[in-house]
Amino acid sequence: MSEKRPPAQEKPRISVARNPRASYDYHFLDQWEAGIVLTGTEVKSLRNGKASIKEAYALVRNGEVWLEGMHITPYEQGNRWNPAPVRTRKLLMHKREIMRLVGGVEQKGFTIVPLELYFSKGKAKVALALAKGKKTHDRREDIKRRMAEREMSRALKVR
């Protein structure tokens, strides 16, 4: 008889970089997780937390998804062949997910925004969202709503 093994505990995601401004600037419609093609020294630099996705965006080119504008600081103990800090990086997604992205991006006003860069089960991943830009009045409504919620929670704490 074979012994049953206990279910594997899922390792927590180790976040490297986040894009907090994205939720302020965009409405999210759908989210995906994509792998990312990196070199060895880039992975070591990510493990040290030396990355930024604040100015990054994704686009679909020839049926492949590419991440533009992500900055990964060169690894300090690397050699002179370290890749450029800001370069185009390929994202790994299933074909049907890419087709859904293409359908969404072709609509007017939609874009693909990276939300978070993290390690999951030892692999570097990027959380992507299909997003539509917010107008100024939408941002003001969000700020008013957050302030009202904050005031309500303060009032409840006082009681």
3-state secondary structure 100-114: HHHHHHCCCCEEEEE
What's the CATH code of the domain at 58?
2.40.280.10
Residue 75's pLDDT is what? 86
Classify 50 in phi/psi space as left (phi over 0), alpha (psi -120 to 50) or beta.
Answer: beta
SS3 content of the chain, % helix, strand, coil (to 5): 30, 35, 35
- Is there a domain that residue 120 lies in? yes
Contact 124, 33 (CB under 8 A): no
pLDDT digits (tens, 9 = 90+) for 52-96: 998 898 889 888 999 999 999 888 887 777 888 898 999 999 999
Nearest C-alpha neighbor of 39 from the set 12, 93, 79: 79
- Is there a domain that residue 54 lies in? yes
Residue 108's pLDDT is what? 79
- Is there a domain that residue 101 lies in? yes
- Is there a domain that residue 29 lies in? yes
- Is there a domain that residue 140 lies in? no
- Is there a domain that residue 127 lies in? yes
Average pLDDT of the chain is: 85
- Is there a domain that residue 57 lies in? yes
- Is there a domain that residue 152 lies in? no
Contact 116, 17 (CB under 8 A): yes
Sequence letter at residue 136: T
pLDDT digits (tens, 9 = 90+) for 107-122: 777 888 999 999 988 8
Residue 117 domain boundaries: 14-134
**Number of domains making up the chain:** 1
